């Protein structure tokens, strides 16, 4: 599903991602962990073209972003990748003046030009899937952070993505609301969605992911199965990180 070769990303003179190569098969659930500033968000943002890349190639479901291709060619591939990718951020970014169901319908109406009744039926189903059937007509301000984030997940799912990217989806939530969002993500993983999740929730990473990528200083330092990573981290960096967070 994803093939990354020699990915490099600079911001000005700073090399933020250093020659990352990696492949992720369909249906795999990958948790990306590591210290703040190590490049995790930048890595996700490169995958769906929110950042231009400095070097290398990123292939998602057959579409190739090549740092050496023309800007226009890259942009076309980025559009194709975005159509297949859902992204969920730490901040939920819902439209404040639209209800939950209208938020989920929006892209179906605007991007897919779907008739209203059909969009509504899909959106209502998705809200039910994330446990919010009763909140269809609520505005974001009337929802808890955990409910808003579940609406954001339903909204991303409306476009039927083949890949879901999550950037610290529970970091802005009060502790008691984290579990309801992780539960929805876990169900999505069990449904077979290909997912890359940047998270600080180590218990979740261990139980829901198939694979852990530990990043530090723009490099993937460890790439291992969760049990192996958490029980026997190979590098001093990972050992120190795990001591600090667990
Ligand atoms: P993480 O998500 O692991 O905390 P980031 O990917 O956000 O790390 O950031 C990695 C590094 O890139 C940091 O040093 C950060 O300051 C830098 N960085 C991120 N975005 C930008 C930007 N738009 N311009 C310049 N530097 C950036
Ligand atoms: Mg980040």
Chain segment 84-104, per-residue pLDDT in tens: 999 999 998 999 999 999 999
The rounded Cα 104 to chain-centroid distance in angstroms is 17
- As a whole number, mean pLDDT of residues 169-194 equals 95
φ, ψ (nearest 5 deg) of residue 123: -65, -40
- As a whole number, mean pLDDT of residues 118-146 equals 97
Q: Which residues contact 140 (CB under 8 A, 6 or more apart)?
A: 92, 94, 95, 96, 100, 103, 148, 151
Q: Is ipTM strictly over 0.95?
A: yes
- As a whole number, mean pLDDT of residues 126-133 equals 96
Question: Which pLDDT does position 163 carry in this prediction?
Answer: 97
Q: Which residues contact 145 (CB under 8 A, 6 or more apart)?
A: 92, 172, 173, 174, 177
- What CATH code is carried by the domain that includes residue 161? 3.40.50.300
The mean of the pLDDT values for the chain is: 96
Q: Whose CA is nearest to atom 16 of ligand 1?
A: 37
Question: Which pLDDT does position 191 carry in this prediction?
Answer: 95
C-alpha 12 to ligand 2 mean position (Å): 19
Question: Which pLDDT does position 155 carry in this prediction?
Answer: 97
Q: To test ligand 1's pocket by mutation, which of 9, 32, 41, 245 has the most ligand atoms within 8 angstroms of CB? A: 41
Please indicate whether residue 216, judged by its CB atom, sits closer than 6 Å to ligand 1.
no
Domain enclosing residue 133, as ranges:
2-245
Nearest ligand to the CA atom of 36:
1
Does 58 have pLDDT greater than 80?
A: yes
Burial 164-200 (b: 16+ CB within 10 A, else e): bbbbbbbeebeeebbebbbbbbeebbeeebbbbbbbe
Residue 164 bridge partners (DSSP): 86, 195
Query: Which has the closest alpha carbon to 195: 167, 223, 216, 154?
Result: 167
Question: Which pLDDT does position 229 carry in this prediction?
Answer: 97
What pLDDT, in 10s, does the model give residues 156-175?
A: 999 999 999 999 999 999 99
Please indicate whether residue 200, judged by its CB atom, sits closer than 6 Å to ligand 1.
no
Q: How far apart are CA 107 and CA 159, in angstroms?
A: 7
Burial 92-123 (b: 16+ CB within 10 A, else e): bebeeeebbbbbbbbbbbeeeebeeeebbebb
Q: Which residues contact 25 (CB under 8 A, 6 or more apart)?
A: 1, 194
Q: To test ligand 1's pocket by mutation, which of 11, 18, 169, 200 has the most ligand atoms within 8 angstroms of CB? A: 11
Please indicate whether residue 37, judged by its CB atom, sits closer than 6 Å to ligand 1.
yes
Grouping H, G, I as helix, E, B as strand and the rest as coil, residue 9 is: strand
C-alpha 37 to ligand 1 mean position (Å): 6
8-state DSSP, 7: E
Nearest ligand to the CA atom of 42:
1
Question: Which pLDDT does position 132 carry in this prediction?
Answer: 97
C-alpha 22 to ligand 1 mean position (Å): 20
What pLDDT, in 10s, does the model give residues 18-47?
A: 999 999 999 999 999 999 999 999 999 999
Question: Which pLDDT does position 242 carry in this prediction?
Answer: 95
Q: Whose CA is nearest to atom 7 of ligand 1?
A: 41
Question: Which pLDDT does position 142 carry in this prediction?
Answer: 97
Question: Which pLDDT does position 82 carry in this prediction?
Answer: 94
- CA pseudo-torsion sign 73, 77, 83, 85: negative
Number of domains the chain is built from:
1
> Locate tokens 């992720």: which residue?
24
Single pTM value for the model: 0.96
Question: Which pLDDT does position 19 carry in this prediction?
Answer: 95
Question: Which pLDDT does position 246 carry in this prediction?
Answer: 76
Nearest ligand to the CA atom of 43:
1
């Amino acid at each position: 599903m994803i093939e990354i070769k020699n990915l490099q990303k600079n911001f000005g003179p700073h090399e933020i991602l250093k020659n990352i190569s990696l492949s992720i098969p369909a249906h795999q659930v990958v948790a990306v962990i590591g210290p703040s500033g190590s490049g995790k968000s930048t890595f996700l943002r490169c995958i769906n073209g929110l950042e231009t890349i400095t070097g290398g190639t990123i292939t998602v479901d057959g579409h190739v972003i090549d740092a050496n291709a023309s800007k226009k060619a890259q942009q076309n591939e980025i559009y194709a990748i975005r159509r297949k990718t859902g992204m969920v951020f730490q901040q939920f970014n819902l439209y404040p003046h639209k209800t939950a169901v209208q938020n989920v319908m929006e892209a179906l109406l605007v991007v897919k030009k779907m008739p209203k009744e059909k969009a509504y039926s899909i959106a209502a189903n998705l809200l039910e899937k994330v446990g919010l059937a009763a909140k269809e007509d609520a505005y974001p301000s009337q929802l808890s952070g955990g409910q808003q984030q579940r609406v954001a997940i339903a909204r991303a799912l409306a476009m039927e993505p083949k890949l879901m990217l999550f950037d610290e989806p529970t970091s802005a939530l009060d502790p008691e609301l984290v579990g309801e969002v992780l539960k929805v993500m876990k169900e999505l993983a069990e449904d077979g969605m290909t997912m890359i999740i940047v998270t600080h929730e180590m218990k979740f990473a261990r139980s829901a992911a198939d694979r852990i990528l530990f990043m530090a200083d723009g490099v993937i330092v460890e790439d291992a199965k969760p049990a192996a990573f958490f029980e026997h981290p190979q590098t001093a960096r990972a050992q120190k990180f795990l001591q600090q967070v667990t």
